[in-house]
Chain A
Amino acid sequence: MKTLILNGSPRADHGNTQLFIDHFQSGLTRPLSVRYILRENPEKLALEMHDYDTILLVMPLYIHAMPGIVMKLFEKLKPHPTNHKIKIGFIVQAGFIESSTARFLEQYLSSLANRLNYTYLGTVIKGDAAACSILPHFFFGKLFKQLKALGAYYEKNGSFNPLLVTKLGYPVDLSKFQVRLLESPLVKRLNQIGWNWILKRNGCFENRFDQPYL
Chain B
Amino acid sequence: MKTMIVREYHDFFLPDSYILDLSDQKIKGCTGCWTCWWKTPGRCIHHDLDFFYHHYITSEKVSFYLTVSQGFVSGNLKTLFDRMIPLFLPYTNYASGESMHDKRYDRYPDIEIHYYDTFLDAAEKKIFEDYLQRTFYQFHSKNISLIGEMRDVRP
- Known contacts A111-B127, A195-B38; decide if A62 and B30 are in contact (CB<8 Å): yes
- Known contacts A101-B99, A115-B120; decide if A75 and B38 are in contact (CB<8 Å): no
Chain B interfacial residues counted at CB < 8 A = 57
Please determine whether A115 and B57 come into contact, CB atoms closer than 8 angstroms. no
Please determine whether B70 and A9 come into contact, CB atoms closer than 8 angstroms. no
Of B2-10, B129-137, B141-149, the one touching chain A = B129-137
Q: Is the interface of B mostly helix, strand, loop or mixed?
A: mixed
- Chain B residues in 8 Å Cβ range of A195: 37-38, 90-91
Complex Cα–Cα for A182 and B91 (A): 12
A138 within 8 A of partner (CB): no
A108 within 8 A of partner (CB): yes
- Known contacts A100-B98, A174-B99; decide if A68 and B71 are in contact (CB<8 Å): no
- Known contacts A11-B32, A198-B38; decide if A108 and B54 are in contact (CB<8 Å): no
Please determine whether A211 and B42 come into contact, CB atoms closer than 8 angstroms. yes
Please determine whether A104 and B130 come into contact, CB atoms closer than 8 angstroms. yes
- List the B residue with the shortest CB-CB distance to A192: B91
Q: How far is the CB of A16 from chain B (nearest CB, A)?
A: 9
- Chain B residues in 8 Å Cβ range of A179: 94, 97
**Across the A-B interface, how many residue pairs have beta carbons closer than 8 Å?**
161
- Chain B residues in 8 Å Cβ range of A107: 127, 130
Please determine whether A63 and B82 come into contact, CB atoms closer than 8 angstroms. yes
Q: How far is the CB of A71 from chain B (nearest CB, A)?
A: 4
Please determine whether A204 and B41 come into contact, CB atoms closer than 8 angstroms. yes
B93 within 8 A of partner (CB): yes
- Known contacts A199-B38, A204-B41, A208-B89; decide if A108 and B131 are in contact (CB<8 Å): yes
Please determine whether B31 and A10 come into contact, CB atoms closer than 8 angstroms. yes
Q: How far is the CB of A92 from chain B (nearest CB, A)?
A: 14
Please determine whether B93 and A64 come into contact, CB atoms closer than 8 angstroms. no
Complex Cα–Cα for A62 and B32 (A): 9
CB 8 Å contact bits of B58-101 with A (1 = contact, 0 = none): 10000000000111111110111110111101111111011100
- Known contacts A75-B70, A108-B127, A202-B38; decide if A64 and B78 are in contact (CB<8 Å): no
Please determine whether B131 and A15 come into contact, CB atoms closer than 8 angstroms. no
- Known contacts A67-B78, A183-B95, A192-B91; decide if A10 and B30 are in contact (CB<8 Å): yes
- Chain B residues in 8 Å Cβ range of A60: 32
Please determine whether A71 and B43 come into contact, CB atoms closer than 8 angstroms. no
Q: How far is the CB of A45 from chain B (nearest CB, A)?
A: 13
Interface residues of B (CB under 8 A from A): 27, 29-33, 37-43, 50, 53-54, 56-58, 69-76, 78-82, 84-87, 89-95, 97-99, 104-105, 120, 123-124, 127, 130-131, 134-135, 138
30 CB-based A-B contacts, threshold 8 Å: A10-B29, A11-B32, A62-B81, A62-B82, A63-B85, A64-B138, A67-B32, A67-B78, A68-B27, A71-B72, A71-B73, A71-B79, A72-B75, A72-B79, A77-B70, A98-B99, A101-B99, A108-B72, A108-B131, A111-B127, A183-B93, A195-B90, A195-B91, A208-B41, A210-B43, A211-B104, A213-B42, A213-B53, A213-B87, A214-B57
